[in-house]
Structure 1
Amino acid sequence: MNILVTGAANGIGAAITEAAASGGHSVVAADLDLAALETRWQGNKSITPVALDVTSAEAWADLAQQFEQQRRPIDVLINVAGVLRSGPAGELAATDVHLMIDVNVKGVIFGTNALAPAMIKRKAGHIINVGSIAALFPTPGTTVYAASKFAVRGFSLAAAGDLRPHGVAVTLFGPGPVRTAMLELQRGDANAALTFSRGRALTPDEVAAAILGPVLKKRPLEYYVPWSDGLLGKLCNSFPKLFFSQLKRARKRGAENFGSDAF
């Protein structure tokens, strides 16, 4: 199976790339940092590093055209690339807003749009968009990040309606906090205390195992890890007053967990 992974130079993307290659798949590892990709995956014949700016529709179109010319169909697209900058409404830097919307939202939309035509033509394919549990919890303090993940969820579900009649599955994958550089950027940041308020952080390997295991096999519309956070998130999403009633307590608990080994 040919799998394309964005954000493959580190974190979740790197874990998925490594696990997929170890599982016998052929992987196209895409990232803006080509040098990091080539250093990380040097000598691994199952992994093809490619430079990709996910915020560029033209770059996605060029990459899709290359696959067609090489007669190398992409069976699975896993949109992982994402960024987070904290900040509450009223204190948002325009550059941070543009960055998160461009990478987190437009990157997913452009990638899906570029590779869907070939999948439709083959009547086969699977697009997995990595969102976040923040797609269900409207987290104050990481306001634009939450908005971007709400958008990814909305787009993924709508795209599933477009593509599933053609044999192409679309899955929204929503993990809780994951032990990556992105999580470390939030540690100690009062704006991001809610990130640390529940349970524990997942490892990138756990995320990779879920995506390459039950998600690939069952091709669900949505898949959340842990499932209990997904259930609670949908409840809070339906009843936002319930969510807001718990904010003070959750923020306090999150701040207490900044130094916890669970995260």
Structure 2
Amino acid sequence: MKKLQGKTAVITGASSGIGAAIARELAGEGANVVLAARRIDKLNEMEQEINGEGGGKAHAVQTDTANREEVEDLVKKAVETFGSVDIFVNNAGQMLSATVQSGKVDEWERMIDVNIKGVLYGVNSVLPSMLEQSSGHIVNIASVSGLEVTKMSTVYSATKFAVRAISTGLEKELARTGVRVTNISPGMVDTPLSRSASDRKKLEAQDIAKAVVYAVTQPDYVNVNEITVRPV
């Protein structure tokens, strides 16, 4: 029997990159996956691909994670389709101009809306049902930029520091409720988001997906709080 047979996972930012890899890995372990992103054409392609693989089933829901109502609707549709939400992966993110000197306030606001508010909207939407069922797993995808700040990453790093703070505080809030929290901080991953950022060796999106599977397939009494994944 597959490790996640009968479970349902919601993955934001699932149309490409890390999110798409996470969706494939979770479905490969038997989980039904709800795919969320703004690009419905890409989501529909992912849905068809996963449904043709013979693992867990997929359902696409167009969602802007910076919009609270759309995130709430995402969780409602997940429950309507598959009955419950057992895993929620806050993966959607924006990496835009991050220096303070650039003065690109609109881009800072977009990063704050997606990288911080979007995570909180996801948690807020799924947490009541997880607490009611005394089980569930929230996985927040942060970044090594939430551990280290460069002169080019000030604002982006601030948003990822915030994700780590949310994860750390939430894990303490939810102690002994049956709801687990994992924060995963990837190094540079070869995705469309990072392709122009560096010419050095990058991780593959599947490397992060495997870290998610590791965290969510531990015994119920094991809570993997923090995983940092870096290229060698």
Which bin holds the TM-score, normalised by the shorter protein?
A: 0.7 to 0.9
| Alpha-carbon offset, residue 109 of structure 1 | 0.6
Query: Contact 2:185 / 2:229 at 8 angstroms: preserved in 1?
Result: yes
| Alpha-carbon offset, residue 71 of structure 1 | 6.3
| Secondary structure of the corresponding residue to residue 42 of structure 1 | helix
| Secondary structure of the corresponding residue to residue 84 of structure 2 | coil
**Where in structure 2 are the equivalents of 1:1-263 lying within 5 Å?**
1-42=7-48, 44-45=50-51, 46-70=57-81, 72-187=83-198, 200-214=201-215, 216-217=217-218, 218-226=222-230
> C-alpha distance in 2, partners of 1:26/1:220?
22
Cα separation, partners in 2 of 1:33 and 1:143, compared to 1, 3 Å: same
| Superposition RMSD in Å | 1.9
Once the two structures are aligned, what percentage of the paired residues are identical? 32
- Which letter maps to 2:31? H
* Aligned residue number for residue 258 of structure 1: none
* Cα deviations by residue, 1:34-54 (Å, 9 ceiling, x for unpaired): 111102332533111111111
> C-alpha distance in 2, partners of 1:68/1:20?
17
| Secondary structure of the corresponding residue to residue 72 of structure 2 | helix
Tell me which protein shows more helix as a share of its residues: 1
Query: Contact 1:34 / 1:50 at 8 angstroms: preserved in 2?
Result: yes
* Aligned residue number for residue 239 of structure 1: none
Query: Contact 1:86 / 1:143 at 8 angstroms: preserved in 2?
Result: no
| Alpha-carbon offset, residue 67 of structure 1 | 3.9
Aligned length: 218
| Secondary structure of the corresponding residue to residue 27 of structure 1 | strand
> C-alpha distance in 2, partners of 1:220/1:24?
21
Query: Contact 1:54 / 1:110 at 8 angstroms: preserved in 2?
Result: yes
Cα separation, partners in 2 of 1:107 and 1:184, compared to 1, 3 Å: same
> C-alpha distance in 2, partners of 1:215/1:120?
17
> C-alpha distance in 2, partners of 1:27/1:68?
11
| Secondary structure of the corresponding residue to residue 195 of structure 2 | helix
Cα separation, partners in 2 of 1:167 and 1:186, compared to 1, 3 Å: same
Query: Contact 2:140 / 2:167 at 8 angstroms: preserved in 1?
Result: yes
Query: Contact 1:178 / 1:202 at 8 angstroms: preserved in 2?
Result: yes
* Aligned residue number for residue 248 of structure 1: none
Unaligned runs of 5+ in 1: 189-195, 230-261
> C-alpha distance in 2, partners of 1:87/1:27?
32
> Could you state the TM-score of these two structures normalised by the residue count of structure 2?
0.87
Unaligned runs of 5+ in 2: 1-6, 52-56
> C-alpha distance in 2, partners of 1:205/1:187?
19
| Alpha-carbon offset, residue 59 of structure 1 | 1.3
Mean Cα deviation higher: 118-127 or 70-79 = 70-79
> Could you state the TM-score of these two structures normalised by the residue count of structure 1?
0.77
> C-alpha distance in 2, partners of 1:71/1:181?
31
Query: Contact 2:186 / 2:228 at 8 angstroms: preserved in 1?
Result: yes
